[in-house]
Amino acid sequence: MLIFTLRRLNLFFFTMLLLTLLSFSLSFLFPGNALLNVSGQINASPEQILLLSESYKTESSIFAQYISYLKHILSGDLGISMSSQTPISVEIADLLPATIELSMVALLLAMAIGIPLGFIAAIKHNKPADNIILSIAMIGYSIPVFWLGLLAILIFSITLPWLPSAGQISLLFEIKHVTGIQLIDILLSDNAYKWQAFQNASAHIILPACVIAVAPGTIFIRLARSSMLEVLETSYIRAASAKGLTFNQIIFHHAIRNSLVKIIRHVGLQFANLITLAMITEVIFSWPGIGRWLIDSIYQRDYTAIQSGLLVLSCFIFIIHILTDFVYAALNPMARDNKHA
Amino acid sequence: MAREKIYQEEEFPSPFLQLWQIFRQTPVAMVGLGCSIFLIVLAVFSPILTPHSAIESNLDMLLLPPSWDPSGNITFLLGTDDLGRDMLSRLMSGASLTFGLSFVVVVISLVIGVLIGSLSALTSGIKASFLNHFLDVVLSIPSLLLAIIIVAILGPGLSNTLWAIVMVLIPQFVHITRNAVKEEFVKDYVLASRLDGASSLRILRYSVFPNIVEKIISQATLAQSAAILDIAALGFLGLGAPIPLPEWGAMLKSGIDLFYIAPWAVYLPGLAILFSVVATNLVGEGIRHSLKLHKES
């Protein structure tokens, strides 16, 4: 396990190095002055610019510039937004929890629905139930998320006025910002209308989370199906049925556990896909998350925000990736002495 | 004296042909292939086939519902949008923009990716390890996010979107080619031709490529469905095709404002995207299914 951890840390370090290099080079690739792109100080006076160029070492070699950029990032200074002139680290700290909340709810939904369906499909292999589930999976996998979002709004918010179509919570409720994850904040607060607020916030999150969950959910169906089929072929399952265990006992005691381990390995990979879907869905549902903010900053040519947004989002995805790797290794001893990272 | 004619020719179909023979027997995959060919024909011949112009507006016929609606008009089969442009013609020309361009994008990135991938499979050591790590990093960034960043560098527009998607797809092809070539290179038949004195490039061209082409095509269908969705998503976000062009994603975006009055302006482009992605995925599924059967036989 120690070697495994060291390998992962090595990979993590290397990836961070590449990601910061990428985001550092973006300030040169974007149109305009590199110093202004990286700091976002578009209204700075000549004296301030002089100070800035000293702190970012623009006169020195490119390597020294990169080192000073790293120092700025490590001290939490991601520059200020070109359009709103507020520090980007503050904006991201405000917005990222909302995206985490939405994507986590969607991930849980996708797993809770997709994995059992996949298991059912595998158990009824090559029967009508299997074919129906697979066809649904194919359509869910192919459906464009923005279209699905619009249809969901049309059906569930306009034709049947069941669920709200935009925002995170009704404006009537005032929730103090503690963790930033709204549902937890509500439970922590000592508001008299706590439960009404909680209901309202959950009504707001259902629709976008379902829309995001469709595509990853169908991928989980396929993953669960193939891993279950693989497990059912193995000799320990045959041994269990030779011992006289009933089919249900085999499925619940042996097959499900072993196939779940294989699925967990893919959760990290699916997360990147899920974040992409969340970005588009945030735009449609006016969810105050980092995806909508990032797309808005492209419309506004806010290069500082794009640069830092990319860095933060990909770091976040990568951290989730590494975490699932650890969970997988903790559950499956065979993965620990895998030589390749 | 009549000589008896005996042909003792044994036919060895190439791996690709063997795959096709299995592929032909799955009806669902053939339906997908038929739909894909239909879309390709539509993409190529749409300028001749469209009943009306896709861009010219027709001010007498604003927001006409589809022809099965009582107030519809049969000359505009699928109705018109807010500028009186015929939906059917726009959808047909959209096939050449969304489906046709995604096809072009996949072909370009396939060629570049396979070249880089097969060359990198021949290298080893620090260069290869660096490339591996670099690919891991690029593949861990979501494709749409990467495309958005590249569009932000190049500026919005259809051609920039296409280049962005090409660059996003290349690492996937590099990755799959690299792994497939490495897998083949340790097999005995490669060793045999190496003992015959063939150079690495010759082995790659004559021995390895015919055996990995189906894997690359199966990746290409995945890339194609991702490319269609990405082009449409960027069009929808207003970063891709400009509004007057009948790109399906951009059509959806311009239809949103009229969602309540003219829902067909939103349904139809979405259905078109869904149709083309399902057709592509069916072909891909068929290929992967026959690959599996082929391996087992």
Q: Does B134 lie at the interface with A, CB-CB under 8 angstroms?
A: yes
Chain B 141-170, CB below 8 Å of chain A: which residues? 141-145, 148-149, 151-153, 155
Exposure string over A98-129, b if 16+ CB within 10 A, otherwise e: bbbbbbbbbbebbbebbbebbbbbbbeeeeee
For residue A23, the number of C-alpha atoms closer than 13 Å in the C-beta half-sphere is 29
Contact A228, A122 (CB under 8 A): yes
Domains of chain A: residue spans and CATH: 2-74 (no CATH), 92-336 (1.10.3720.10)
Of B144, B239, B266, the CB nearest to A276: B144
Helices A303-331 and A2-29, packing angle to 10 deg: 170
pLDDT in tens, B165-202: 998 899 889 988 988 888 888 888 888 988 988 888 88
pLDDT band at A208 (very low <50, low <70, confident <90, very high): very high
Instruction: Report helix, strand and coil shares of chain B as percent, to nearest 5.
Output: 70, 0, 30
Mean pLDDT across B121-135 = 76
Degrees (nearest 5) of the Cα angle A325, A24, A82?
Answer: 110
Task: Please check the confidence at residue B4 and state whether its pLDDT lies above 70.
Answer: no
Cβ <8 Å between B149 and A139: no
Q: Could you tell me the end-to-end alpha-carbon distance of chain A, in angstroms, rounded to an integer?
A: 13
Q: How far is C-alpha A3 from the geometric centre of its chain's CA atoms? A: 28
* ipTM exceeding 0.90, yes/no: no
What CA–CA distance (Å, rounded) separates A154 from B260?
9
Residues of B in contact with A295 (CB under 8 A): 148, 237
pLDDT in tens, B34-75: 999 999 999 898 888 888 777 777 777 777 778 787 777 777
Nearest in space to A183 (alpha carbons), one of A259, A69, A97, A119: A97
Least trusted range by pLDDT, from A165-169, B150-154, B289-293:
A165-169
pLDDT at position B206: 85
CB atoms within 10 A of CB B259: 15
Cβ <8 Å between B273 and A145: no
Q: What is the DSSP letter of B81?
A: -
For residue A176, give how far its alpha carbon lies from the nearest alpha carbon of chain B (Å).
Answer: 31
Mean pLDDT across chain A, nearest whole number? 83
Cβ <8 Å between A276 and B278: no
What CA–CA distance (Å, rounded) separates A157 from A210?
14
pLDDT in tens, A102-142: 999 999 999 999 999 999 998 888 888 888 988 888 888 88
Chain A 128-187, CB below 8 Å of chain B: which residues? 138-139, 141-147, 150-151, 154, 158
Mean pLDDT across B83-98 = 85
pLDDT in tens, A282-302: 988 888 888 888 888 888 888
Cβ <8 Å between B266 and A150: yes
Residue of A49 and B276 predicted with greater confidence: B276
Instruction: Indicate whether this model's pTM tops 0.90.
Output: no
Task: Please check the confidence at residue A34 and state whether its pLDDT lies above 90.
Answer: no
Q: Does B102 lie at the interface with A, CB-CB under 8 angstroms?
A: no
pLDDT band at A221 (very low <50, low <70, confident <90, very high): very high
Exposure string over B92-125, b if 16+ CB within 10 A, otherwise e: bbbbbbbbbbbbebbebbbebbbebbbbbbeeee
Domain ranges of chain B: 27-51+62-296
pLDDT band at B204 (very low <50, low <70, confident <90, very high): confident
For residue B141, give how far its alpha carbon lies from the nearest alpha carbon of chain A (Å).
Answer: 6
For residue B258, give how far its alpha carbon lies from the nearest alpha carbon of chain A (Å).
Answer: 12
Tokens standing for B54?
């896709």
Of A141, A272, A279, the CB nearest to B140: A272
What CA–CA distance (Å, rounded) separates B253 from A259?
42
Mean pLDDT across B134-162 = 80
For residue B38, give how far its alpha carbon lies from the nearest alpha carbon of chain A (Å).
Answer: 18
pLDDT in tens, A302-336: 888 888 888 888 888 888 888 888 888 888 777 67
Tokens standing for A258?
């072993």
List, in order, residues 6 or more apart from B158 with CB less than 8 Å away: B97, B101, B240, B241, B242, B245, B247
Task: Please check the confidence at residue A202 and state whether its pLDDT lies above 70.
Answer: yes
Dihedral pair phi/psi, residue B86, rounded to 5°: -70, 125
What CA–CA distance (Å, rounded) separates B230 from B172?
15
pLDDT at position B271: 92
Cβ <8 Å between A317 and B140: yes
Cβ <8 Å between A142 and B278: yes
Question: A141 to chain B: nearest residue by CA?
Answer: B278
Of B136, B137, B225, the CB nearest to A142: B225
Q: Could you tell me the end-to-end alpha-carbon distance of chain B, in angstroms, rounded to an integer?
A: 45
Mean pLDDT across A215-236 = 89
What CA–CA distance (Å, rounded) separates A105 from A274?
11
For residue A189, the number of C-alpha atoms closer than 13 Å in the C-beta half-sphere is 22
Mean pLDDT across B250-268 = 84
pLDDT at position B7: 64
Q: Does B249 lie at the interface with A, CB-CB under 8 angstroms?
A: yes
Report helix, strand or coil for A87.
strand
Interface test with A, best of B39, B149, B282 (most A CBs within 10 A): B149
Burial bucket for residue B221 (CB in 10 Å: 0-12, 13-18, 19+): buried
Question: A316 to chain B: nearest residue by CA?
Answer: B141
What CA–CA distance (Å, rounded) separates B179 from A130?
31
pLDDT at position A341: 43
Mean pLDDT across B95-123 = 90
B80 strand-pairing partners: B86
pLDDT at position A337: 63
Q: How far is CA B238 from CA A333, B100, B168, B249, in A?
A: 48, 20, 19, 9
pLDDT at position B215: 86
Least trusted range by pLDDT, from A31-45, A135-149, B43-57, B89-103:
A31-45
Residues of B in contact with A272 (CB under 8 A): 140-142
Mean pLDDT across chain B, nearest whole number? 84
pLDDT in tens, B63-74: 777 878 777 777
Task: Please check the confidence at residue B144 and state whether its pLDDT lies above 50.
Answer: yes
pLDDT band at B1 (very low <50, low <70, confident <90, very high): low
For residue B144, give how far its alpha carbon lies from the nearest alpha carbon of chain A (Å).
Answer: 6
pLDDT in tens, A72-88: 888 877 778 877 788 88
Residues of B in contact with A135 (CB under 8 A): none
A&B contacts, CB < 8 Å: 104
pLDDT in tens, B218-230: 889 989 998 999 8
pLDDT in tens, B237-248: 888 877 778 888
List, in order, residues 6 or more apart from B164 with CB less than 8 Å away: B146, B147, B148, B150, B151, B154, B234
- CATH number, span B27-51+62-296: 1.10.3720.10
Q: What percent of chain B has pLDDT over 70?
A: 96
pLDDT at position A320: 86
